[in-house]
Structure 1
Amino acid sequence: MFEGFERHEIQTDGATIAAFTAGSGPPLLLLHGYPQTHVAWHRIAPVLAREHTVVATDLRGYGDSRGPQQADASAYSKRTMARDQVAVMKQFGFERFAVIGHDRGARVGYRLALDHPGAVRAFVSLTVIPTSEVWARACKDFALGAYHWLLFAQPYDLPERLLSGDPDFFLNRTLRKMTTEFGCLSDEALSVYREAFRRPEVRHAMMQDYRAGATIDHEHDLADRAAGRILECPVLVLWEHGRFSEIDTPLRIWRNWAADVEGWAIPGGHLQPEEQPEAVLDAVRPFLSRYATA
């Protein structure tokens, strides 16, 4: 699925990050979400590599990347995971670059833009609003629909033990819930996701990611709001049609977090890079053309 991409392993502070590179032109970092790997970009990355130097990574602890195995979730804060990505891009000689993030990867992406404003030329957020905004809107519907946010945030090692009973069932159920049409996921991608999810150390990293989201990440967001810090780069936000009310849209929410924001809803479910690759490309390519030039 990533034919023509070169695989690398980059040592960062406390982790080993798997990175896959191809193309030439302005640098572009792709950050996947839960419960996936860099393979989530297999329908988009080759097209973007015609115009950009694409770097697609596995987040700390996900896929082929490795992170610490410990009870403390601070090593999986988005601040720490963002530092991983800055180190990766520097390894390739890129001090400034554009970022597209989906799901958990978008949370790493906006933290990267907040903490390292000089590094990010432009940021694309797929299906995400800031973490503190999610918690501020948490209600019964959220708890029932996105129950994994609450389950995975439980103390070590309760969720790890629960998921170890039948990881394939849990992953399949999760991906079906995330998609409008489960058949949009290729057999090759599903095989990669299953192989990764079967590994206890990968599931542990995912739990740590969500534990951090309920604790230290939330604290970092609140501190930014109190200090009035915003994203200085141009921002594009795309979200699932029908998921948000017409009043409380991600576009309105992100305008409190960034000076220059545009965006709209697109059809389909949560896994936009695989369900709606053409719609995503139609949105991000002109945006990157305007803002991500070298």
Structure 2
Amino acid sequence: MMLDEGFVDFDLEVNGVRIAGAMSADADATDGAATATTATTTAGEKPALLLLHGHPENHLMWHRVAPQLIEELTLVMPDLRGYGRSSRPESGDDHSAYSNRIMAADAVALMERLGHSSFVVCGHDRGARVAARMAADHPDRVRRVLLLDVAPTLRMYENTTRAFAEAYWHWFFLIQPAPMPEMLIGADAKAYIEGLMGARHAGLAPFPREVLDSYAEGLRGADRARGICEDYRASAGIDLDHDRADIAAGRLIEPELRVLWARHGVIERLFDPLSLWGEVARSVSGHVVDCGHYLPEEATAEVVAEIRSFLGSAA
């Protein structure tokens, strides 16, 4: 599924991997399909916004948000490594190839390739965790960050309860040793996508069929499903090491954070996101939104308004 007119697909080599996705069309990508040779820059008069998707999605999760912002912002929407049409590189025993730090480096390299030395970021779910790591590691590149429905990963693991484990069962399923999770998901990707996403507050109603099919295609077969498993294995290991190292060094996230979370979700029910992000960031604000976990699809107007007011003013 393509986004509306005004967007082009890209598939670029950055940071040693292929990163695919979609971005605002520009004069340097007039053929309608941006490639490694045609997508040299999107830099221009409009400020740049990097949009990072969550699990188990890809860049199409922004299909309702992006068309409302295209006239005022240059939008870049990659598939994280391991997701969608992006690469699934091999990973070692520490799963570092799928760490938030490496995914953040992918995104910074992508934005640099497109001519953006600094930018604002909005991330949902896994993408929000990558965005937070990017803000910590690259404060000279990231101006402001909007995080959607996440609390800090380390604190969520440290405060695991039965209620959390039951609600976020996939966190603990996906980290099991290869190849069991990959094989089970890859054998019926549609069942995994619809079972996970459909069990949340709004069910499957917010998601067009062609978007769900695109998500499933990205997980069809054990080799394609491997990427998401490696993401979560890294999250339960090396990502926590990086977070602990920041805390031990007294290192705070410097760019300003805005956090939105779902009233009908696990973050609202089990965590205090503003307090927890306040432990690791210098400046944090935010509020709850009356929706479920998938804010960009369920509460599009509120997300667009926050992007305009919080990120647009800093872009």
Amino acid of the structure 2 residue aligned with 1:122:
R
Q: Match of 1:172? A: 194
Greater helix fraction, Structure 1 or Structure 2:
1
Match of 2:7 among 5, 8, 11: 5
Deviations 1:29-83 (A, max 9, x none): 0000100000000100121222111100000021011121345321101111111
Q: Measure, in 1, the Cα distance between the counterparts of 2:16 and 2:82.
A: 11
Alpha-carbon contact 1:107-1:128 (below 8 Å) kept: yes
Alpha-carbon contact 2:258-2:310 (below 8 Å) kept: yes
Alpha-carbon contact 2:183-2:221 (below 8 Å) kept: no
Percent identity over paired residues? 40
The 3-state SS of whatever aligns with 1:182 is coil
The 3-state SS of whatever aligns with 2:312 is helix
Amino acid of the structure 2 residue aligned with 1:39:
L
Q: Match of 1:253? A: 276
Q: Does the alignment pair 1:213 with 2:213? A: no
Amino acid of the structure 2 residue aligned with 1:229:
R
Alpha-carbon contact 2:151-2:271 (below 8 Å) kept: no
Provide closer, same or farther for how the CA distance between residues 242 and 191 of structure 1 changes in structure 2, counting only shifts above 3 A.
closer
Q: Does the alignment pair 1:53 with 2:74? A: yes
Q: Measure, in 2, the Cα distance between the counterparts of 1:5 and 1:199.
A: 29
Amino acid of the structure 1 residue aligned with 2:165:
A
The 3-state SS of whatever aligns with 2:86 is coil
Question: Which structure 2 residues correspond to residues 124-273 of structure 1 after superposition, within 5 A?
Answer: 124-243=146-265, 244=267, 248-273=271-296
The Cα RMSD (Å) is 1.7
Q: Match of 2:31? A: none
- Bigger shift: 153-162 or 242-251? 242-251
Q: Does the alignment pair 1:286 with 2:288? A: no
Normalised TM-score (structure 2): 0.88
The 3-state SS of whatever aligns with 1:69 is coil
Deviations 1:80-118 (A, max 9, x none): 111100110000111100000001011111111101110
Uncovered stretches (5+) of structure 2, i.e. residues with no partner: 26-44
- Cα displacement (A) at 1:143: 1.2
Runs of 4+ in 1 over 3 A off after TM superposition: 69-72, 242-248
Provide closer, same or farther for how the CA distance between residues 248 and 152 of structure 1 changes in structure 2, counting only shifts above 3 A.
closer
Q: Measure, in 2, the Cα distance between the counterparts of 1:216 and 1:149.
A: 15
Q: Does the alignment pair 1:69 with 2:70? A: no
- Cα displacement (A) at 1:242: 4.5
Q: Match of 1:41? A: 62
- Cα displacement (A) at 1:246: 8.1
Normalised TM-score (structure 1): 0.94
Amino acid of the structure 1 residue aligned with 2:157:
W
Q: Measure, in 2, the Cα distance between the counterparts of 1:164 and 1:258.
A: 38
Alpha-carbon contact 1:10-1:19 (below 8 Å) kept: no
Uncovered stretches (5+) of structure 1, i.e. residues with no partner: none
The 3-state SS of whatever aligns with 1:290 is coil
Alpha-carbon contact 2:144-2:257 (below 8 Å) kept: yes
Deviations 1:257-289 (A, max 9, x none): 212211001011111111111121122211113
Provide closer, same or farther for how the CA distance between residues 22 and 176 of structure 1 changes in structure 2, counting only shifts above 3 A.
same
Alpha-carbon contact 1:33-1:105 (below 8 Å) kept: yes
Alpha-carbon contact 1:34-1:104 (below 8 Å) kept: yes
Match of 1:19 among 18, 21, 27: 21
Q: Measure, in 1, the Cα distance between the counterparts of 2:165 and 2:203.
A: 23
Alpha-carbon contact 2:7-2:22 (below 8 Å) kept: yes
Provide closer, same or farther for how the CA distance between residues 91 and 166 of structure 1 changes in structure 2, counting only shifts above 3 A.
same
Aligned length: 292
Amino acid of the structure 1 residue aligned with 2:53:
H
- Bigger shift: 20-29 or 147-156? 20-29
The 3-state SS of whatever aligns with 1:129 is coil
Q: Does the alignment pair 1:82 with 2:83? A: no
